A and B are shown apart, each in its own frame.
Chain A
């Protein structure tokens, strides 16, 4: 309400007195959206326990059907651009659409595998020895590089283990901004020395001594602690795809960024022939790729990523009514989802468990430094209404904790129903429970059950739908508890890099955050966003948005990642999830279904790790 009266104060003096008379009436904003709770989403299919029948109708294909045809061009429509064309830096789900077709990391994820990665460039599963501190890979022989993007002589020698080492080493250079090497490879022997060396000379890739290449077909990783599972998971990401130093060093020496991306040589079934930033990426069949050298069948002859389709509705419409098209970096939400589900149901697939969405409450400053206030906010939030901003029931399952379905630890943390027990009561009302919320507010010290005193709360959100809509809906839910919310909408990237991820400048609420898994493991999901260590490691690029810094959680995370037994590991991460939720640092509201649409002549095979179309398995009819 107070933001409105500031507006009134701007009116010309003669109108001021008259205006302030009328402001109190007219169904004002205090009647929040949490009334009429279930509303449109109260149909019986809005169950928060398990995948509903509605959603099961849209099960995605996760393996290529027998008799899949070879040939044709797959057009991939993109809203924005790939984050980095340099495989050492790519770190987005949609980037994997390109890089998992063009690169060959040591390990890989066939679309129908979700338990553990499968050898790709590696000849076989790695040998883990020395109590989990040494991981040895043998790499396949006779793998050759493609012609280079942009022309030139390229590299005619076959792939050797030194190339894999160089590809990983260069991830420490500032010109190759890799975001996960120091995370999953934190325990590599010699990492700190390598980081110091690259600080002195940023134009040369350092030598991480813990990565050894005793011969040209063997690569060994030495760790100071037995964090092999995380390391092996990381080796399924594009960083470990081989890059010969003799070819790349001159490009890597460029400042401010390496130009290798624009001149890259690839070893996958496809190679990138053209990259026009913001416009398109073209991949052709790699002439130097030996068919059947790995699990990728590579049906289509050509992949063209066309960017600039900023209007999701028309892009989805184009895909549904056109030929040979799939999406790059967007999911069908809202109206687009409605059209797809009602008019083109055979061309829509919903894949659960690719990511989660939550609203981060900044625990480092008032008013959300009080756990009871946070519990009140969670109890009051109508998460079904939040889900409506993304398309209702088919947009996803309402989240009840952090780890998403399909990831080890999900069931252990409570599955779809969430953690049980009275201490988690604030999580157990997906459409909001004002009475419970008010009781928590009273526990927090607000005797009326609503906020009083200094109740200003700052919120920074996306400036485009659906994120902006989610923020506005949540704002009204906060207002119902008596908070005065200052909402500022900004560009998506700016939301992170200037506000939410900057510890010193973070607002009270960041409503548009979420986490997509890097690979199917608890460490890849819950470590970074809830670990206190994240805050100190990168205070201007902090992904622990609630700034949760609980010593018990921190030490549990530190020990969980050293567990190698899958059952014990899942149990440990499940427990951590419950510990985190007990702190109420966020409002978990969605476990998305990745809604992939495809043209009628496409047989889209969905990769269950990236959640998107797997270009190496998709074919055309």
Chain B
């Protein structure tokens, strides 16, 4: 941690005279530095604000729609379709226009946020948990466990995730779904596909981290004190893995959102008529030349949401990594 750099001096003066004249110079805890760095990144701030607004809008979607005067996401307005059954664009009745069967695009964008956010958070959580678990065990125990997990990770890339997605979507489509009702049709299937496909990324990262951590002295110390493997993993390794775990999770969120959008675009994600941004773009694709609105607005929603997550994730990465310089 290089103290005397221009950055830090600047930070000192912004805070005010108090710190400068103080006799004691306190070492800031990593968390303090983290929040400080985070706070200064304007883009990350903008991202946080945007995401907060989005989450609130998603939760209070019915309210938002009512405020704007838009009908719900499922009601098809025949009057908004022309003689050929084709949709009309933005108007006073429908500020974002209607989609191909007359449903209000604004409502669907707002309700679509629910799908994107739920899928993003839950799949990130599952992916991280499972990946960390595997990475931990592979890196710590080494030997045949490591070989098994590492080779599985290598081979996992070659398995077509589409096969899994379409197969799962197909098998779990009705009634109680599959795996004893655990994987129900729609969102749970998408979450399952994302998690199953992506667990290898955090696993690889964590494994690498654990491999270097386990050689450190504090682990040796614990071991010589007679701590069990489990205890070492939980008490010594995990706390030191918080940074990479958080970094991974925050950078995976936008990936998860785009992954769900891609699956829905291909028709194997969330089942219609549940609104999903990727699905809406897929609906719009055949007619973009003449009906641009229901391709544009969901796409912008995806872009801004992923961007916001990316700004936040970027700031997290920079904040957690003392050597990095933010741009």
Contact = CB atoms under 8 A, between A and B. Distances in A.
Interface of A: 3-4, 6-7, 10-12, 15, 18-19, 22-29, 31-33, 35-41, 43, 311-313, 334-335, 337-338, 341, 385, 387-395, 458, 463-465, 468-469, 472-473, 475-476, 479, 486-490, 494, 498, 507
Contacts of A388: 78, 81, 85, 101
B59 A393 contact: no
Interface in B169-198: 170, 173-175, 184-188
Nearest to A456: B175
Interface residues of B, number: 53
Contacts of A28: 62, 72, 74-75
Interface stretch (B17-25, B34-42, B221-229, B265-273): B265-273
B261 interface: no
A40 B83 contact: yes
Given A23-B62, A27-B71, A385-B76, A334 B283 contact: no
A335 B71 contact: no
Given A28-B72, A385-B78, A489-B272, A338 B62 contact: no
A542 B17 CA distance: 85
A312 B186 CA distance: 28
A3 B73 CA distance: 13
Contacts of A393: 83-84
A156 B100 CA distance: 56
Contacts of A10: 118, 122, 187-188
Given A22-B62, A394-B84, A489 B286 contact: no
Given A39-B78, A465-B100, 6 more contacts: A10-B118, A29-B73, A40-B79, A472-B272, A490-B170, A494-B170
Contacts of B283: 465
B78 A486 contact: no
Interface in B32-87: 55, 59-63, 65-66, 70-79, 81-86
A22 B60 contact: yes
B102 interface: yes
Contact of B75 (A24, A31, A488): A31
Contacts of A4: 274
A334 B170 CA distance: 28
A473 B286 contact: no
Nearest to A390: B85
Interface string B111-129: 0001100100110000000
B91 to A, nearest CB: 14
A199 to B, nearest CB: 32
Chain A to chain B: the 7 pairs with minimum beta-carbon distance, closest first: A39-B78, A388-B85, A26-B62, A29-B74, A33-B76, A338-B84, A27-B71
12 contacts: A22-B59, A26-B72, A35-B78, A37-B78, A40-B78, A40-B85, A312-B286, A335-B291, A392-B84, A392-B85, A463-B267, A473-B101
Contact of B174 (A19, A31, A395, A486): A486
B242 interface: no
Given A313-B286, A487-B273, A33 B83 contact: no
Contacts of B102: 33
Contacts of A32: 75-76
Contact of A6 (B101, B122, B184, B267): B184
A7 B62 contact: no
Contacts of A11: 59, 114, 118
A55 to B, nearest CB: 13
A539 B286 CA distance: 36
B274 A391 contact: no
A338 B267 contact: no
A28 B70 CA distance: 11
Contacts of B289: 313
Nearest to B273: A472
Contacts of B287: 313, 334-335
B174 A458 contact: yes
Nearest to A29: B74
Contacts of B185: 486, 488
B74 A387 contact: no
Contact of B272 (A24, A26, A468, A479): A468
Contact of A7 (B65, B187, B272): B187
Contact of A19 (B59, B122, B170): B59
B76 A476 contact: yes
A84 to B, nearest CB: 25
A335 to B, nearest CB: 5
B125 to A, nearest CB: 9
A18 B62 CA distance: 12
The interface centre, meaning the residue of B81, B101, B289 with most chain A CB atoms within 10 A of its CB, is B101
A469 B283 CA distance: 9
B290 interface: yes
A475 B273 CA distance: 9
A385 B60 CA distance: 31
A292 to B, nearest CB: 44
The interface centre, meaning the residue of B75, B188, B271 with most chain A CB atoms within 10 A of its CB, is B75
B271 A488 contact: yes
B115 A7 contact: yes
A487 B170 CA distance: 12
A476 B74 contact: yes
A28 B173 CA distance: 24
Given A12-B121, A22-B59, A391 B84 contact: yes
Nearest to B268: A463
Contacts of A19: 59
A348 to B, nearest CB: 12
A7 B65 CA distance: 18
Contacts of A3: 186, 274
A27 B75 contact: yes
Contacts of A475: 273
Contacts of A494: 170
B272 A334 contact: no
The interface centre, meaning the residue of B72, B83, B118 with most chain A CB atoms within 10 A of its CB, is B83
A29 B185 CA distance: 20
B271 A489 contact: yes
B74 A389 contact: no
The interface centre, meaning the residue of B76, B122, B187, B272 with most chain A CB atoms within 10 A of its CB, is B76
Contacts of A35: 78
Interface in B142-194: 170, 173-175, 184-188
Given A37-B78, A313-B287, A385-B78, A26 B83 contact: no
A327 to B, nearest CB: 16
A469 B70 CA distance: 21
Interface string B282-295: 01001101110000
A424 to B, nearest CB: 25
Contacts of B290: 335
Contacts of A312: 286
Contacts of B61: 22, 26
B18 to A, nearest CB: 37
Nearest to B283: A465
B37 to A, nearest CB: 27
A473 B273 CA distance: 9
Contacts of A468: 272
A392 B115 CA distance: 32
Nearest to A461: B272
A25 B274 contact: no
Contacts of B122: 10
Given A473-B101, A475-B273, A27 B78 contact: no
The interface centre, meaning the residue of A4, A341, A388, A389 with most chain B CB atoms within 10 A of its CB, is A388
Nearest to A15: B59
Interface string B76-108: 111101111110000000000000111000010
A29 B267 contact: no
Contacts of B291: 335
Interface in B272-307: 272-274, 283, 286-287, 289-291
A488 B173 contact: yes
A25 B66 CA distance: 8
A347 to B, nearest CB: 17
Nearest to B122: A10
